[in-house]
Amino acid sequence: MLIDQTLLPERYEVIALGRVASVCEAIYMLRVRGAPALGVAGAYGVLVAVEEEWGGDGYFFDSDVERDDAAETRFDSFQRNASVEALRRRLSEMSEKIASTRPTAVNLGWAVARMRRVFESPWSNCSSMLTALQREADSILEEDIAMCRQLGEHGSTLLDDHVGVITHCNTGGLATGGFGTALGVVFAAAASGKAIHVFADETRPLLQGARLTAWECIQRDIPVTVLVDGAAASLLASGQVHCAIVGADRIAANGDTANKIGTLGLALLAKHHEIPFYVAAPTSTIDSGLATGDQIPIEQRPAMEVLQMGGRDIAPSGANAYNPAFDVTSHDLISAIVTETGVHRPPYQF
Ligand code: MRU
């Protein structure tokens, strides 16, 4: 079950995903999005693979589901017929599919790899494997919430009372297990009584800033102003913004950070206007296997996301589109990286 983020802010709708194909579709279409939320979705996606093959309708994992005769028959058949080896083979294939759906956010591959370690462990029967898988997915979710709460506390020390904060894309509860990273820092500061005004880049082309960040701020009574991405330069020149804070999809060992396309532009603007530029992310977003950001795979998205809006052409047919979903901000443009372990200053060592 997840909130379909493509429908916000017009509609709040929770959707149930019973097939791996729908999990992959939801990830690719950004019904669920944001690096930590992708990790959580990937982990539960592995459970969906089991359901699809042997359970059905949340039989194995949803305690609220009524166990009718048909479900009982399926479960009997699972117990009698499914071998640990067959289950492992199925999970391996499906995990591969889920993890490769979006390549940039390291959390997706990281969470699926954690699930893989569980199903590749030696198990004497399928039921114990399933119980362990469920426990691992729950831990990934709970750990994310705890990490985000902690990084929110650390990050809130960077924000003074009565400040303007610019952010890009959406990094709140929607993008995580439920608390938020960069926006979580704002939420923690606001909860401690500080007056923060959020300036949300609309975040072309899919408008995560306008649709989701503004929605989350409004839900929490935090004042928010939406601007088109191109207005960030003049906003910073106006002096209303005291710092920029963004999330991350993958952070290399030297601190280079991949985040939503447009982040690099904002970091350059922050440097020009001499305001701090902060990144906030749980350590699950750090890929210490990559020395620098040059090695981060950048997802390229379909041209129509740029050439159309609301189903209407906004460019003549025949025009090409440049549509990378992310860019990489060099570590030397980042004033600090906030994780659940604290506020890290350059040179970055995690
Ligand atoms: O394409 P998206 O919407 O998944 O991109 C999300 C971002 O770039 C976020 O800033 C990042 O994942 C951090 S979310 C806490």
Q: pLDDT tens, 196-240? A: 999 999 999 999 999 999 999 999 999 999 999 999 999 999 999
Q: What is the pLDDT of residues 283-311, one digit of tens each?
A: 999 999 999 999 999 999 999 999 999 89
pLDDT digits (tens, 9 = 90+) for 268-285: 999 999 999 999 999 999
Q: Is 343 exposed, middle or buried (0-12, 13-18, 19+ CB in 10 A)?
A: middle
Q: Is 4 exposed, middle or buried (0-12, 13-18, 19+ CB in 10 A)?
A: middle
Instruction: Report the percent of the chain where pLDDT is more than 90.
Output: 85
Average pLDDT rounded to a whole number, residues 251-265: 98
Tell me what pLDDT residue 79 has: 65
> Residue 32 and residue 63: Cα distance in Å, rounded?
23
Give nearest CA residue, ligand 1 atom 9: 34
Q: Say whether pTM exceeds 0.85.
A: yes
Residue 274, C-beta contacts closer than 8 angstroms, at least 6 positions apart: none
Ligand 1 centroid to Cα of residue 260, in Å, is 6
Is it the case that residue 73 has pLDDT exceeding 80? no
pLDDT at 60: 54
Any residues with CB less than 8 A from the CB of 25 and at least 6 apart, and which?
31
Tell me, what's the pLDDT at 52?
82
Clarify whether 249 is annotated catalytic.
yes
Q: Residue 51's closest CA among 40, 61, 66?
A: 61
Q: 153, 147 in Cβ contact below 8 A?
A: no
55-72 per-position pLDDT tens digit: 655 555 555 555 566 666
258 with 104: CB under 8 angstroms?
yes
CB neighbour class for 67 (10 Å; exposed up to 12, middle 13-18, buried from 19): exposed
Question: To which H or E segment does residue 71 belong?
Answer: helix 69-81
Return the pLDDT at 64: 57
CA of 194 to the centre of ligand 1 (A): 25
